[in-house]
Amino acid sequence: MALSELFGGFRQTNHPPETRAKPVCPSSEIISICATLADFQINSNRFCGHEVTHEDSIGPLSGFRGDIFWPVSTCSNVHGKLGKMIEFTKEHIEVQNESQIDKILTDTTKSVGERIKTADENMEKVKRKREQEQLLARWRNTVWELTCSNKDVEKPEDLSEDEIIGKVEAFLKALGNITGPSFEKSLSLSRTTKGAENCPQTPRYGQNGEYS
């Protein structure tokens, strides 16, 4: 018996177009765009389908093994990651410059431990600010190539940060029209039992072979 039969496995429902397998995901283009923005590596072998687990029953049905089909979809995973990245770009991160840190480190009214803690916290903020800037720089180039390269915007540097974030939000909204809200922001039972709320081909939660 195969290990996948003993311990479950993944059963593909929809496929990205490059695999030429059927059925093809009807939303692959927007998924691909948002995956690029989210720096999400698409796995064509686990693109959209069911994660199958085997569970043994207890009580009166003890000894009966049932299959649980958990929906897995790339679109929802990409949607969740890109949404968090947008939130990160909007985060206000205030860092102190070198002279301000020097004053803190030489402030004898505070203990050495307090001064070091403040300096370390600022270093973490500097790191997050740099990550924020790097993300926006990557988005600037991608957004320009996708939406502006054939228009009157001559180069990526002509895009403001607000324009960049706005265009990424527009792509996320288009994907959200398919997936529905992210799992973290949805209290709907129907959301948690579907791979994507508004996709007609989405995998759904099921038990003992009863799923779609």
Per-residue pLDDT, 172:
97
- The 3-class SS string of the chain reads CCHHHHHCEEEEEEECHHHCCCCECCCHHHHHHHHHHCCCCCCHHHCEEEEEEEEECCHHHCCCEEEEEEEEEHHHHHHHHHHHHHHHHHCCCCCCCHHHHHHHHCCCCCCHHHHHHHHHHHHHHHHHHHHHHHHHHHHHHHHHHHHHCCCCCCCHHHCCHHHHHHHHHHHHHHHHHHHCCCHHHCCCHHHHCECCCCCCCCCECEECCECC
Assess whether pLDDT exceeds 50 at residue 4. Answer: no
How is the chain split into domains, by residue range? 3-86+173-207, 88-168
Could you report the per-residue pLDDT of 71-99, keeping only the tens digit for each?
999 999 999 999 999 999 999 999 988 89
Could you report the per-residue pLDDT of 149-160, keeping only the tens digit for each?
777 788 999 999
Q: Taking all residues of the chain, what is their mean pLDDT, rounded to a whole number? A: 86
For residues 171-194, average pLDDT:
77
0.85 exceeded by pTM: no
The alpha carbon of 201 is separated from its chain's Cα centroid by a whole number of angstroms, namely 21
Could you report the per-residue pLDDT of 11-38, keeping only the tens digit for each?
999 999 999 999 999 999 999 999 999 9
Per-residue pLDDT, 124:
94
